[in-house]
């Protein structure tokens, strides 16, 4: 198994955090992992992305131009990474703000209005990254949802442990939404 995943959005959307969490979940499962962040100089609003590689074999390079999956949190990320997804790959889109229609027919596309769901159902728009991560984990099977939760508990500072349950709910919501979409 080899998954090379790009998670990309505006700074402050939690793209890097989602990637770290996915990487730590891979470690929980004894996999080979790499996490390569990239971000603009801005504190918020600039581009933030990371490449996460999870593999059963040693990883030759943490860099990829052709990811097997992309999680696009904003319109610029969708525009930039849609053409780069491998054929038969996965593109998960935060359709609350990335409205552009996908042109490719050779990839699986899942559109989830993550900001809207996070705000309206969970009361915290900042949970949108976890909703999309739950969907990504469900569709790719790269790690288990349990491993993501274990990684979250281990790596979230104790002063933030009050956010464990909201994050679990957001991950579960994304998992369920992806399950509904993949049944069709």
Per-residue pLDDT tens digits for 171-182 = 999 999 997 766
* Joined tokens for residue 102: 């996908």
pTM: 0.93
CATH code at position 171: 3.40.920.10
Residue 32, Cβ density class (10 Å: 0-12 exposed, 13-18 middle, ≥19 buried): middle
Q: Is the model's pLDDT at 167 over the cut of 90?
A: yes
Other C-beta atoms within 10 Å of 55: how many? Answer: 17
User: The domain containing residue 48 runs over which residues?
Assistant: 2-183
| Residues of the chain above pLDDT 70, percent | 95
Per-residue pLDDT tens digits for 3-60 = 999 999 998 899 999 999 999 999 999 999 999 999 776 556 678 999 999 999 999 9
Please count the structural domains in the chain: 1
User: Which residue has tokens 């709910």?
Assistant: 169
Per-residue pLDDT tens digits for 68-79 = 999 999 999 999
């Amino acid at each position: 198994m080899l998954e090379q995943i790009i998670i990309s959005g505006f700074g402050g959307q939690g793209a890097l955090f989602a990637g770290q969490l996915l990487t730590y979940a891979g470690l929980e499962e004894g996999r080979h992992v790499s996490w390569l962040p990239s971000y603009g100089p801005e504190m918020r609003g600039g581009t933030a992305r990371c490449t996460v590689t999870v593999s059963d074999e040693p990883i030759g390079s943490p860099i990829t131009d052709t990811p097997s999956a992309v999680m696009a949190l904003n319109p610029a990320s969708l525009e930039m990474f849609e053409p780069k997804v491998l054929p038969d790959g996965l593109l998960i889109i935060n359709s609350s703000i990335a409205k552009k229609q996908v042109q490719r027919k050779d990839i699986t596309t899942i559109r989830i209005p993550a900001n809207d769901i996070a705000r309206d159902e969970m009361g915290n728009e900042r949970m949108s990254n976890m909703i999309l991560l739950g969907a990504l984990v469900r569709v790719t099977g790269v790690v288990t949802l349990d491993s993501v939760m274990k990684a979250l508990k281990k790596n979230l500072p104790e002063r933030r442990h009050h956010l464990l349950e909201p994050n679990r709910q957001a991950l579960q919501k994304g998992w369920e939404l992806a399950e509904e979409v993949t049944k069709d």
